[in-house]
Amino acid sequence: MSSSNFLVDLSLVTPPKKVFRLVGGDNPVDVDISVFPARAMLKFMHVMQSHTDKSAPSLEEMVSVVAEACKPKNPEIDDEWLMDNMTFSQLTDFCSLVMEYGDGQLRDYQKKFSPKQTEGEGKNSPSASSSHTSAKSTHGQRQTTASKK
């Protein structure tokens, strides 16, 4: 019987760079969330599952997920730091962008591990529309459309 070595180097699988510059007092802070940590993703999934009635997560819930996503590269950034050092507008925009990025990774996971759709299933099936955020993203790349009011 022959033995063969098997090595999968997951360090080579790197997502696109995703860095945000936050204003934190006098000094801007660059926050890299290119690697959305598993702990943050699990928290994100829990928050989204708790809103099955299509209600939006509260800002406090979103801040908690976002802080968890920031921790690996910026351990000083937590819920309190985000709420104390950002304006309301900055905080809501930042949370929205990070949640969109997490949603994109969650959709990628669902595509990879969900049962394949049959011909009768499509965009309107429950499995295809299980997420609550409205932004479409692929590997965290934000795709938005502008509209004039």
Dump pLDDT digits (tens) for 90-133.
999 999 999 998 888 888 888 888 876 555 555 444 433 344 44
Query: Where residue 137 falls among pLDDT bands split at 50, 70, 90?
Result: very low
Tokens encoding 21: 């510059």
Q: Is residue 135 part of a domain?
A: no
- Residues 6 or more apart from 59 whose CB is under 8 A from it? 91, 92, 95
The distance from CA 96 to its chain's CA centroid, rounded to whole angstroms, is 9
Q: Is residue 103 part of a domain?
A: yes
Quick check: 59 pLDDT over 80? yes
Q: Is residue 132 part of a domain?
A: no
Burial per residue of 67-76, b for 16 or more beta-carbon CB atoms within 10 angstroms, e otherwise = bbbbbeebee
Query: What's the pLDDT score for residue 126?
Result: 40
To 10 degrees, what angle do helices 38-49 and 59-70 make?
A: 170
pTM over 0.85: no
Query: Where residue 88 falls among pLDDT bands split at 50, 70, 90?
Result: very high
Mean pLDDT for all residues in the chain: 77
CA distance 69 to 133: 17
The domain tally of the chain equals: 1
Q: Is residue 49 part of a domain?
A: yes
Q: Is residue 74 part of a domain?
A: yes
Name the residue type at position 145.
Answer: T
Q: Is residue 46 part of a domain?
A: yes
Q: Is residue 96 part of a domain?
A: yes
**Which one has a higher pLDDT value, 4 or 84?**
84
Quick check: 67 pLDDT over 90? yes
* Range(s) of the domain holding residue 94: 38-115
Quick check: 37 pLDDT over 70? yes
Closest CA to 105 of 16, 12, 11, 10: 16
Q: Is residue 11 part of a domain?
A: no
